[in-house]
Amino acid sequence: MDGVSRRKLLAWGAAATALGATGCTRQADGEGPPGKNGATPPEPSPSPAVTPLGDGSTADTGPQPNQPPAPRPLEPGERPPQFVVFSWDGAGEVGNGLFPRFRKVAREHGAAMTFFLSGLYLLPESKRNLYRPPGNPRGASDIGYLKDANIRLTLENLRAAWLEGHEIGTHFNGHFCGGSGSVAHWTPRQWRSEIEQASAFVTRWRTNTGFTDVEPLPFDYGTELIGARTPCLLGQENLLPAAAELGWRYDASSPGGLQVWPAKKQGVWDLPLQSIPFPGRSFEVLSMDYNLLANQSGNTTRGPVADRPGWREEAVGAFTQGFQRAYETNRAPLFIGNHFEEWNGGIYMDAVEQTIQHIAEAGHRDVRMVSFRQLCDWLDAQPEPVLTKLRALGVGQQPTGGWKNYLA
């Protein structure tokens, strides 16, 4: 466990409850075609026409492949699909194989995911002074910079992920959670600066790294970037004006959400992590791997080996019970957040994979494992009166008279 992780866990240990904080470290549609979860696993795409952008770090390769058909409004009395969004904070590949592992899991089960990329993961440490974090010294970061070899691996996986149909969002840069420079205190103007810098590190990695033998990221990040999750789920109130000004469609930073249908804040979809059942506990837990850890092993990422099998089963139970509760009642989208970490021997990674398998192999044709972008597409396709009716359903509440009557 590195020093950054230990400081964070100690700082947040007191809040490790049902609605605890979330942490990162450097190790860090409704109309799908037939197949598992109504989606066809991505097929290899032909090489697209490439129009380099800027210094060639990114390129316009046309529409993103492996996307579901355009969503349509629900028919009167139609039951809504059950959406599940798996997302990843940081999205750096540090050599532990977790990024390619979950790309493979997604392919096998027809899932799309959202990867919230930390911009600093594409900036060499030798160029750290290019980063001017709001409220902090130049080049400072509470997560580590990646080695050049790991930057290459991250670029390779980001490129492949987008071509496979996944979304690339942002987790910003330096991950400042504590002290006077915390993102909790940033102004909208400071958030705008952080966003512009994160975007610059993605669109100028070729200049900053000097790599000439790596293919460009196959998307225009100015178009691709439509949403984010903030460090430690802090600072959303002042982020939203900047997000709205940039035309972002959603933010996934709000803590302590419930399993209900989402609404907009300041014109931006608010898609929070949610309280879900916690097997064997008298309280619920936030739907993220870190929050499970904080309630199981406290302020260490290396809890007793003997406890890990039980903790893994608790994690699987939390995720699957959260899914089942929504599926059988109000059909609210389920949001599960993760990190490419091997905390407590990798049990949370195993739990996420088992959950995806459980959802896929249950055989529900009305379940969609989608990215946040794809969920926003579906939400935006629905008439407001339908969304209002959906939002009126509480946690675990079934529609009165069944869906045919409720949405007639």
Q: Tokens 């959202």 label which residue?
A: 114
Q: What would the two tokens of residue 344 be? A: 């407590």
Q: With a cut of 90, say whether residue 25 has pLDDT above it.
A: no
Q: With a cut of 80, say whether residue 2 has pLDDT above it.
A: no
Please report, in angstroms and rounded to a whole number, the separation of the first and last CA atoms in the chain: 54
Pairing of strands 268-270, 285-286: unpaired
Report the pLDDT averaged over residues 235-264.
97
CA distance readout (Å), 219 to 3, 55, 62: 35, 13, 8
Number of neighbours of residue 304 by Cβ within 10 angstroms: 10
Q: What are the helix (H) ranges across 118-180?
A: 148-163
Strand partners, 265: 268
Percent helix, percent strand, percent coil in the chain, to nearest 5:
40, 10, 45
Q: With a cut of 50, say whether residue 392 has pLDDT above it.
A: yes
Q: With a cut of 60, say whether residue 139 has pLDDT above it.
A: yes
Q: In this structure, are residues 109 and 36 in contact, taking their beta carbons and an 8 Å threshold?
A: yes
Q: From its phi and psi, is residue 399 left (phi > 0), alpha (psi between -120 and 50) or beta?
A: beta
CA distance 225 to 142: 23
Q: With a cut of 90, say whether residue 20 has pLDDT above it.
A: no
CA distance readout (Å), 104 to 44, 92, 108: 13, 16, 6
Segment 285-333, tens digit of pLDDT: 999 999 999 999 999 999 999 999 999 999 999 999 999 999 999 999 9
Which residues make Cβ contacts (< 8 Å) with residue 353, sequence separation at least 6?
A: 101, 102, 105
Q: With a cut of 70, say whether residue 45 has pLDDT above it.
A: no
Q: In this structure, are residues 188 and 165 in contact, taking their beta carbons and an 8 Å threshold?
A: no
Segment 344-366, tens digit of pLDDT: 999 999 999 999 999 999 888 89
The whole-chain average pLDDT of the chain stands at 91
Q: In this structure, are residues 116 and 167 in contact, taking their beta carbons and an 8 Å threshold?
A: no
Q: With a cut of 50, say whether residue 106 has pLDDT above it.
A: yes
